[in-house]
């Protein structure tokens, strides 16, 4: 891609996990001298051992989990008794580090911070030692196109890079934002809402924890992160109260009667409503892995149809609109923008108008006979 640099002291290349849920992708991490990787149950573990495989091999020392983080390299340098690297104040390394420590970054929602950290790690890996003021639109375009097979990831990287540069401009690191010249890649129509027969498959055939999670997402219209974090204190008196992690928006939602019936069947094991088979609150990764692992047998049509958990939130929107709710009423439940609700509303209205038109057509033909 031209505008990049290679980390020093590299001796080994290993594959890492996929960057996007939409499509698996392989990335490489180049490990420094005396470091090797051991994979157990699909998870990589990193160890430092001098003179490995010889009679002078030192004791093996485990390193932190992710070699893409500054903490991993700090620990490696400490164990190897290496001096800390000199970071130029105008490099991506320096600007990204300052941004991640800034008040502006800390004010972002938890989910946004996690995503930014993920994509800024990619930027740092590509361009860490280079000067941020040397970045040009052609470099951003090359980075975007490097991930073009996963367009959602490509767009997210550019969006995150743009946010970094917007923060850096008033601090004198560069005068303009080259990301403004880069168009987004087309990502398709997004995740589809679930047909009701797919929802019934989960209710009738899935393990109870899957139905509990699906019902909570469907009848509140909330994102996965907010559903997993929902506590029993947020569901009482026939109301669901929450503050959305992504937007920070506070919502008070009357609980649907069917949701109240589902909640009454869930044992209270922890503060959180939803728990794993171990009786512990779900981690995002653990929930997604378990959800996907159970989409087999009678639940296979859900996977084959491309229906993902986030689609249940869209199902809530569509169902509310089809029930005759206004855009404002739907937005009050899901916390989405009016523009997003209007987008769904146009789709629902189109179907209703088309159905009404066909009925009129058929009626006029019958009357003429």
Q: What pLDDT digit, counting tens, does each position of 21-33 carry?
A: 333 343 456 788 9
In this structure, is residue 47 part of a structural domain? Answer: yes
Residue 163 belongs to domain with CATH number = 1.10.150.130
Domain that holds residue 242: 196-352
pLDDT score for 127: 93
Task: Look at residues 212, 210, 219, 144 and name the one whose alpha carbon lies nearest to residue 183.
Answer: 144
Residues 6 or more apart in contact with residue 33 via CB below 8 angstroms: 9, 11, 80
Sequence-ordered alpha helix ranges (H) in 65-178: 70-79, 92-100, 103-106, 110-127, 137-146, 151-168
pLDDT score for 25: 41
Are residue 288 and residue 163 in the same domain, yes or no?
Answer: no
Are residue 167 and residue 210 in the same domain, yes or no?
Answer: no
pLDDT (tens digit, 9 = 90+) per residue, 167-199? 999 999 999 999 998 998 887 656 788 999 999
Please, which pLDDT band fits residue 49 given cuts at 50, 70 and 90?
very high
In this structure, is residue 24 part of a structural domain? Answer: yes
CB 246 within 8 A of CB 109: yes
Q: Of the residues 181, 211, 236, which one is the last residue of a structural domain?
A: 181
Per-residue pLDDT, averaged over 246-271, amounts to: 93
DSSP result, 16-30? ---S-TTS----EEE
pLDDT score for 190: 62
Residue 330 belongs to domain with CATH number = 1.10.443.10
CB 202 within 8 A of CB 214: yes
Are residue 69 and residue 102 in the same domain, yes or no?
Answer: no
In this structure, is residue 62 part of a structural domain? Answer: yes
In this structure, is residue 68 part of a structural domain? Answer: yes
CA distances from 116 to 105, 112, 120, 139 (A): 9, 6, 6, 19
Are residue 216 and residue 329 in the same domain, yes or no?
Answer: yes
Mean pLDDT, the chain, integer: 85
Are residue 227 and residue 167 in the same domain, yes or no?
Answer: no
Are residue 214 and residue 307 in the same domain, yes or no?
Answer: yes
Please, which pLDDT band fits residue 12 given cuts at 50, 70 and 90?
very low
pLDDT (tens digit, 9 = 90+) per residue, 296-330? 999 999 999 889 999 999 999 988 888 888 888 98
pLDDT (tens digit, 9 = 90+) per residue, 202-226? 999 999 999 999 999 999 999 999 9
Share of the chain above pLDDT 90, in %: 53
pLDDT score for 110: 81
pLDDT score for 189: 56
Rounded Cα gap, residues 108 and 30, in angstroms: 31
Q: Of the residues 27, 57, 79, which one is the last residue of a structural domain?
A: 79
Please name the residue that has the structure tokens 């209703």. Answer: 352
CB 150 within 8 A of CB 25: yes
pLDDT score for 92: 94
In this structure, is residue 87 part of a structural domain? Answer: no
In this structure, is residue 186 part of a structural domain? Answer: no
Residue 104, CB half-sphere, CA atoms under 13 Å: how many?
A: 13
pLDDT score for 85: 66
Q: Model-level pTM? A: 0.57
Are residue 171 and residue 288 in the same domain, yes or no?
Answer: no
Report which secondary-structure segment, H or E, holds 62: strand 61-62
State the burial class of residue 272 (Cβ atoms within 10 Å of its Cβ: 0-12, 13-18, 19+): middle
In this structure, is residue 84 part of a structural domain? Answer: no
Are residue 215 and residue 323 in the same domain, yes or no?
Answer: yes
Structural domains of the chain, count: 3
pLDDT score for 302: 94
Please, which pLDDT band fits residue 152 given cuts at 50, 70 and 90?
confident
Are residue 248 and residue 347 in the same domain, yes or no?
Answer: yes
DSSP result, 195-216? PHHHHHHHHHHS-HHHHHHHHH
DSSP 247: T
Are residue 243 and residue 127 in the same domain, yes or no?
Answer: no
Which of 45-59, 71-85, 158-172, 194-208 bottoms out in mean pLDDT, i.e. has the lowest?
A: 71-85
pLDDT score for 2: 52
In this structure, is residue 217 part of a structural domain? Answer: yes
pLDDT (tens digit, 9 = 90+) per residue, 78-128? 999 888 766 667 899 999 999 999 999 999 888 788 889 999 999 999 998
Are residue 150 and residue 290 in the same domain, yes or no?
Answer: no
Which of 30-34, 101-105, 242-246, 356-360 bottoms out in mean pLDDT, i.e. has the lowest?
A: 356-360
Are residue 347 and residue 203 in the same domain, yes or no?
Answer: yes
pLDDT score for 338: 78
Which of 49-63, 135-149, 264-278, 347-361 bottoms out in mean pLDDT, i.e. has the lowest?
A: 347-361
């Amino acid at each position: 891609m031209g505008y990049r640099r290679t980390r020093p002291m590299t001796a080994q290349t290993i594959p890492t996990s996929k960057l996007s849920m939409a499509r698996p992708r392989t990335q490489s991490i180049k490990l420094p001298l005396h470091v090797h990787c051991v994979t157990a149950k699909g998870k990589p573990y990193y160890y430092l051992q001098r003179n490995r495989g010889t009679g002078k091999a030192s004791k093996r020392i485990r390193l932190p989990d992710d070699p893409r983080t500054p903490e991993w390299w700090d620990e490696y340098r400490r164990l190897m008794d290496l001096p800390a690297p000199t970071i130029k104040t105008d490099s991506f390394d320096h600007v990204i580090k300052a941004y991640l420590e800034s008040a502006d970054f800390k004010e972002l929602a938890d989910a946004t911070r996690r995503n930014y950290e993920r994509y800024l790690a990619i930027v740092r890996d590509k361009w860490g030692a280079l000067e941020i003021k040397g970045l040009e639109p052609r470099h951003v375009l090359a980075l975007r196109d490097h991930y073009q097979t996963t367009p959602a990831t490509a767009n997210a990287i550019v969006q995150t890079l743009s946010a970094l540069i917007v923060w850096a401009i008033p601090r004198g690191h560069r005068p303009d934002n080259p990301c403004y010249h880069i168009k987004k890649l087309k990502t398709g129509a997004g995740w589809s809402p679930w047909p009701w027969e797919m929802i019934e498959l989960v209710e009738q055939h899935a393990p109870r924890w899957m139905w509990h999670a699906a019902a909570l997402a469907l009848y509140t219209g909330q994102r996965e992160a907010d559903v997993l974090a929902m506590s029993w204190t947020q569901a009482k008196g026939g109301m669901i109260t929450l503050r959305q992690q992504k937007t920070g928006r506070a919502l008070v939602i009357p609980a649907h009667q069917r949701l109240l019936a589902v909640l009454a069947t869930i044992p209270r094991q922890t503060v959180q409503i939803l728990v794993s088979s171990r009786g512990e609150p779900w981690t995002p990764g653990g929930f997604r892995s378990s959800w996907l692992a159970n989409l087999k047998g009678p639940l296979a049509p859900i996977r084959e149809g491309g229906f993902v958990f986030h689609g249940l939130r869209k199902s809530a929107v569509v169902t509310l609109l089809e029930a005759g709710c206004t855009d404002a009423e739907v937005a009050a439940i899901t916390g989405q923008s009016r523009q997003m609700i209007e987008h769904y509303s146009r789709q629902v209205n189109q179907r209703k108008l088309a159905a009404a038109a066909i009925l009129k057509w058929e009626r006029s033909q019958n009357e003429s006979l």
